[in-house]
Structure 1
Amino acid sequence: MDSSSSPMSLQGLPEASPKPYKKSLVTALMEAATLRTPSFKEDTYFISHLKSSERKALQQLKDQLKASNSSECSVWGVSLLGGDEKADVILLKFLRARDFRVGDALNMLLKCLAWRKDFGADDIVEEDLGFKELEGVIAYMHGYDREGHPVCYNAYGVFKDKEMYERIFADEEKLKKFLRWRVQVLERGIKLLHFKPGGVNSIIQVTDLKDMPRRELRLASNQILNLFQDNYPEMVARKIFINVPWYFSLLYSMFSPFLTQRTKSKFVISKEGNAVETLYKFVRPEDIPVQYGGLCRPVDLQNGPPKPASEFTVKGGEKVNIQIEGIEAGATITWDIVVGGWDLEYSAEFVPNAEGSYIIAVEKARKMRASEEAIHNSFTSKEAGKLVLSVDNSGSRRKKVAAYRYIVRKCSNTD
């Protein structure tokens, strides 16, 4: 099949271009937000990879934790005094969060254990908190990135609706319940981690800032941030911000000096209009929700691991034809196709093998809007031939990422 395939790179975002002599305030702020330190390199947690001072700090933390006589010495189902590799992974997370200062790490760990007992965090995954309307909308675990990390999506734009906001945050009691639900989502993600040297020991966070009401969510956002920072050290490998408005750049430039290089190296900041291209760098299209330019619909998650997709790019001014050949008479072909930020023409036709047969317009050529989700369609052939999917980007100069997949089910003879 002809798809002009070129897989997306997993490298970091492009380097910032040289600064011109003058630029507007908004441009300067946007650049401040997109300048990044070298991409975060996740720790392997192999003891043999530690410096001698770090191994010493790990042993000291174990000794001091044992001497503390804490009534709670297990977290996420792992006994911290068990002496196994899972315990080492968790203890190293607390040490790294405090730059291997043993006293500070111990204090953080003991406070976390006390909070988890008081909060009931160990059993929270099984609770029904009554937020069915928020599941799959506000904060939810969905698929994995290219390296196997579970991905948590966050989108608070629905709270621009005052009625929705009042229903969730009208008083302190409702806010506490929402925070409890948000911790529940994170705990579900943590249950997917290995806590094993060389394994997947952290998650990816994708935060959609589109339509996010700033003032209204400030209190909730601050409390969520504080809870996570205090009790979930080194649980996030990368923080991807998409649909970033210009004012986020102002906030980032203000707080950036107070962030560690380690924290900033985890950030990926993508302005409005670049969400799909950014996500494709880190997550395969079959694992990305359709609302973010991927191929995954909620119903797909009920059928096991998603069928892999083929990725390709459509250059500016280019038309790409994807030919799916070898379709037999009576066979049914089902396909999905998406182009990030569409804004181009799409069509599908069936071309019979037999000379003199007519080409069938399965989907007539039409302009796809940027807001449209992935195409999902099927066609049953009456004769042998091929399906041709066309995407015509000749009216644009911008290169776009795209993906497709298909299944052909042959006709079953019941005679």
Structure 2
Amino acid sequence: MGCNIAEEDFSTIIFEDENTPLSKLNPAVKKALQELRCKVEDAILGNYILGWSAKTCDCCMRDHHHANSQEHGITLWGVPLLPSKGHEGTDIVFMKFLRAREYKVYEAFEMLQNTLKWRKEFDMDGILDETFEPGLENVGYIDGTDKEGRPLLYVVYNPLRDINLFLKLLQNKEKKDQFLRWRVQQVEKGIEKLSFKNGGVDSVITILDMKYWPTGPAEIRRSVRKLLFSIYPDHYPEIIFRMVFLNVPIWSYALFNVFSKVLSQRAKSKLVITRPHKSAKTLLKYIAPENLPVQYGGLKREDDDAFLPEDQVSELVIRGGVAYSIEIAIAKPGEIVVWDVTVVGWDVSYREEFVPDNDCLDIISIQTETKMEANARSSFYIREPGKILLTIHNGTFKKKKVLYRFKIKPMVNPNLHNLRVGGLCPSISENNNTSEDFDC
């Protein structure tokens, strides 16, 4: 019973591209995958996929395998694990366990067994339907995708500063366990959005904002450590494509160094730790600016009626010591222009002006020059042809990347009396940061 395939040295292919199609796998990896398929098939049909026991140790005869049909429907993340069922996601799931164990077949099989046993002990059935303490939805949520379509799972500790929510989570042991279950539920919700198909999306990105990492009672911190250094690496192999830590306190670096010693080199490669001034630069490696929230240096706003995700974002690089103006030319009066500008790393000055084509008219200052510390969203109603100038002055010695987009739309009601010539549209401008739609 089973397959006998010789073990090979996989040290040179441990970090093989995770997106490699199954048809193009290294021959040695194909052998490892085939052997794992055989092991899992035998274990499921033999009714010992969850481990050996006195009841299962005599289940090695093939004729007896089919008497255990109730085990044949065993799945993980919605994917059938019995290879003979022919589901295209089965091999993709197996490859995750193989990569996590450096293509060592027995260790990958043991990891799969342990994961299935943990899910049974953790009572994962129905976890997606469980409800938790009100307020936790602001601590963790799914919002958008990265450049490759991976779901983005955000965890923000700021809401835990609410002492009432904090105390509710710590009332008793059951409540404390609920925080851990809630965090696991967030990952499972992200997995629901995965496809497990060749060329499909089969991993997520987790973003943890550590700015208000709780320093009080230790129960929540213990839950987080258990997730990061036990549950995730042991039971969600290769499901977390990257785990990005933002606003990491200096004192926590030592903590990461201690706990990372228990992780494999591959698991550690998933962790990305960044300081506040580099958060936007790091996140923009993975996430398009239109999908990254403004608080993290992107252009995405909640309930944004001005721009759509598909609206084009342009970028430019400004050298140190240079001022550069973005020009938005408008030839037709009676239109509204709205724009977004953000600078990766900030530390620049910024101003906004309208320059009429008619030299007899004065230049209108929309935003006086000021230090740029956040995303700029403004709008302007055009009464005569001209151009908007958005000027960024990079007074540092480093190059700065600028991301911007704009949209021009006809005015719905040009007869409004509260608009001055060439003025801001009051109903869509709030301190020069537009948050409403164009329709004044």
Paired position in structure 1 for 2:400:
400
TM-score (norm 1): 0.79
Alignment TM-score, normalising by the size of structure 2: 0.75
SS at match of 1:298: coil
Partner-residue secondary structure (3-state), 1:346 = strand
Indicate whether 1:112 and 2:115 are aligned.
Answer: yes
In structure 2, the residue matched to 1:66 is: 44
Q: CA deviation at 1:303?
A: 8.2
Is it true that 1:98 corresponds to 2:74 in the alignment? no
How far is 1:86 from its partner? 0.8
Report the Cα offset of residue 107 of structure 1.
3.9
Aligned 8 A contact 1:206 1:242 in 2? yes
**1:309-346 deviations in Å (ceiling 9; x for gaps):** 22233433222211111342001111111223434322
Q: Which moved more, 1:279-288 or 1:41-50?
A: 41-50
SS in structure 2 of the partner of residue 262 of structure 1? helix
Aligned-partner residue type, residue 404 of structure 2:
Y
Answering whether residue 325 of structure 2 is matched by residue 298 of structure 1, we say: no
> Structure 1 residues 162 and 286 mapped into 2: Cα distance closer, same or farther (>3 Å)?
same
1:329 aligns with 2:323: no
Per-residue CA deviation, residues 283-312 of structure 1 (Å, 9 max, x unaligned), is 221111111111111214998635332223
Deviations 1:250-272 (CA, angstroms, capped at 9, x unpaired): 23333444432212322322223
After the TM superposition, which of the residue ranges 358-367 and 152-161 deviates more from structure 2? 152-161
- Of residues 282, 286, 289, the one that matches 1:285 is 289
Superposed CA RMSD in Å reads 3.0
Task: Show structure 1 runs of 5+ residues with no match.
Answer: 1-37
Give the counterpart letter for 2:18 in structure 1. E
Structure 2, unmatched stretches of 5+, are 1-13, 50-70, 415-440
For the pair 1:205 / 2:209, whether they are aligned, the reply is no
CA shift for structure 1 position 376: 1.9
Deviation at 1:212, TM superposition (A): 1.4
Deviation at 1:210, TM superposition (A): 2.1
Q: Is the 8 A contact 1:210 1:245 kept in 2?
A: yes
Q: Which residue of 2 aligns with 1:358?
A: 362
Partner SS, residue 186 of structure 1:
helix
* Aligned-partner Cα distance in 2 for 1:408–1:222: 49
CA contact (8 A) 2:180 2:224 kept: no
d(CA) in 2 for partners of 1:98, 1:365: 55
- Return the alpha-carbon distance in structure 1 between the equivalents of residues 305 and 337 of structure 2: 21
Give the C-alpha shift of residue 213 in structure 1.
2.8
- Give the fraction of aligned pairs with identical amino acids, expressed as a percent: 36
Amino acid at match of 1:152: L
How do 1:221-260 and structure 2 match up within 5 A?
Answer: 221-225=224-228, 226-260=230-264
Provide closer, same or farther for how the CA distance between residues 259 and 227 of structure 1 changes in structure 2, counting only shifts above 3 A: closer
Bigger radius of gyration among the two: 2
Q: How many residues are paired up?
A: 371
User: Which residue type is aligned with residue 335 of structure 2?
Assistant: A
Q: Distance in 2 between matches of 1:130 and 1:302?
A: 34
Deviations 1:133-183 (A, max 9, x none): 333x42222222223322222232443554442233343222222222212
Query: For 1:211, what is the secondary structure of its paired residue?
Result: coil
Equivalent of 2:25 in 40, 45, 49: 49
Match of 1:319 among 304, 320, 323: 323
1:134 aligns with 2:136: yes
Q: 1:115 to 1:253 in 2, by over 3 A?
A: closer
* Contact persistence 1:350–1:386 (CA under 8 A): yes
Q: What secondary structure sits across from 1:190 in the alignment?
A: helix
| 301 and 43 in structure 1: CA distance in 2 versus 1, 3 angstrom threshold | farther
RCO (CA 8 Å, sep 6+): is it higher in 1 or 2?
1
CA distance in structure 2 between the aligned counterparts of 1:96 and 1:134, rounded to whole angstroms: 33
Please show how residues 137-216 of structure 1 align to structure 2 within 5 Å.
137-160=138-161, 162-214=163-215, 216=218
Partners of 1:46 and 1:87 lie apart in 2 by 11
Distance 1:200 1:272 in 2: 29
- Distance, in Å, in 1 between the alignment partners of 2:131 and 2:305 is 21
Deviation at 1:117, TM superposition (A): 5.0
Alignment of 1:35-46 (within 5 A): 41-46=17-22
Partner of 2:67: none
Equivalent-residue separation in structure 2 for 1:301 and 1:108 (angstroms): 47
Please report how far the alpha carbon of residue 119 of structure 1 lies from its aligned counterpart in structure 2 after TM superposition: 4.7
Amino acid at match of 2:379: S
Deviations 1:375-410 (A, max 9, x none): 22221111122111112232x334433311111113
The amino acid that maps onto 1:76 is W
Shift of 1:222: 2.7
Aligned to 2:429: none
Q: What amino acid does structure 1 have at the position aligned with 2:33?
A: R
Q: Is 1:261 the equivalent of 2:239?
A: no
Q: Would the aligned equivalents of 2:314 and 2:405 in 1 still touch at CA under 8 Å? A: yes
- Give 2:116's aligned amino acid: L
Kindly tell me: are residues 61 and 309 of structure 1, through their superposed partners in 2, closer, same or farther at Cα, counting changes over 3 Å?
farther
| Cα separation, 2, equivalents of 1:368 and 1:93 | 44
Q: SS of 1:362's equivalent?
A: strand
